[in-house]
Amino acid sequence: MVEPVHINHAPVGAIPAPVRDNLRGVIWILISVLGASAMSIGVKALGASIDSRMLVALRAGLSVALLLPALLVVRQLRAMRFTKPWLHLTRGTLIAVATHLGFYTLTELPLATSAVLMMTAPIFATVIAALTQNEYVGPRRWGAVIVGFLGAIVILRPGLAPLDWAMVTALGSSACFAIALTQSRALAEADGPVAAYVSSVVVTLVLSIPVALPVASLPPTALAWGLVAVVMVSGIIRGIADIQAYRHAEASVLGPVTYLRLVLIGFGGYFFFSEKPDIYTYLGAAIIVGATLYIARREAMSRRQARAAMKASESLAGP
């Protein structure tokens, strides 16, 4: 069944929606992958000296201190629009929660295990789209979702190994980030990617201050400050690149590219921290990656069929 076509009139002053350009989107997602990998390695290295809650607050505070004057200099601060304040607030809150859960996971688990569990976001996104956006998800995609969650269970091994709460927070981070990504395109098209990113950083800072106060501390060495700078800059790059990627390209195209992060983070864990994933991590990773690639393939096929049906109906309608 083809859904009816609704003509949406953009509000006055809205940012024009970009023409779909998968190549440009892939370039942006590659930039995001590099930024996310550098950030993950930096967070892991800082975990021994700074509490993850303080690290989130410190990163957000320094990002705000860097971004706002820079935007003022280039005369972008006054030009930013916040036409959807509640969407900015909810998306910022989701990103704040996802960041806290994700940073805690990175400081507590091996990098490869953290990365694999946090790559379940496309699986959560499929479930969220079905439940909240009335998107039709066929039995094959539901089957892939179930298989993907089975991959996470292989890594968690409930009942066979002590439950590590850092594994649970990894899945929580993925779920929150998946919801935030579903809101990114609409927000970026309404107010622009810079406004969407700035609002998420400001909301993260405001929510992180009371959480970080009980563990407040500063980096103890110059090296630690350098790593904080890496985490901050790579986080800014990753945040803006994510928004731009999903503005320009379809999620089904971008999804497979993001798995390059597993390779980069795996190498980082091996070379910097002498980490060697166990067999369960490898097996779970194979299952999760396979399931999410299948979801991406089915989504792409569904979109092509919908576009073909729409063109057929338009040709039958005539001039």
> Going by C-beta distance under 8 Å and a sequence separation of 6 or more, which residues neighbour residue 203?
88, 89, 92, 93, 95, 96
Residue-level pLDDT, tens digit, the chain, 319 residues: 433 333 344 444 445 555 566 788 888 989 998 999 999 999 999 998 999 999 999 999 998 888 877 777 666 666 677 888 899 999 999 999 999 999 999 999 888 888 888 877 777 777 777 776 666 667 777 777 777 777 777 777 665 566 678 888 998 998 898 888 778 778 878 888 788 888 999 999 999 999 999 999 999 899 999 999 999 999 889 888 887 887 777 766 776 677 778 788 888 888 898 888 778 777 877 887 777 777 667 666 666 666 666 665 555 455 5
Tokens of 77: 């601060």
Q: Are 261 and 214 in contact (CB under 8 A)?
A: no
Its pTM stands at 0.76
So what's the pLDDT on residue 192? 81
The CA distance from 126 to 299, in Å, is 9
Q: Are 2 and 309 in contact (CB under 8 A)?
A: yes
So what's the pLDDT on residue 35? 93
So what's the pLDDT on residue 214? 94
So what's the pLDDT on residue 238? 87
State phi, psi for 158 to the nearest 5 degrees.
-60, 130
> Going by C-beta distance under 8 Å and a sequence separation of 6 or more, which residues neighbour residue 63?
201, 205, 232, 235, 236
Alpha carbon 23 to chain centroid, angstroms: 19
Tokens of 119: 């790559």
The CA distance from 10 to 31, in Å, is 29
* Element housing 119 (H / E): none
So what's the pLDDT on residue 12? 41
So what's the pLDDT on residue 212? 96
So what's the pLDDT on residue 216? 92
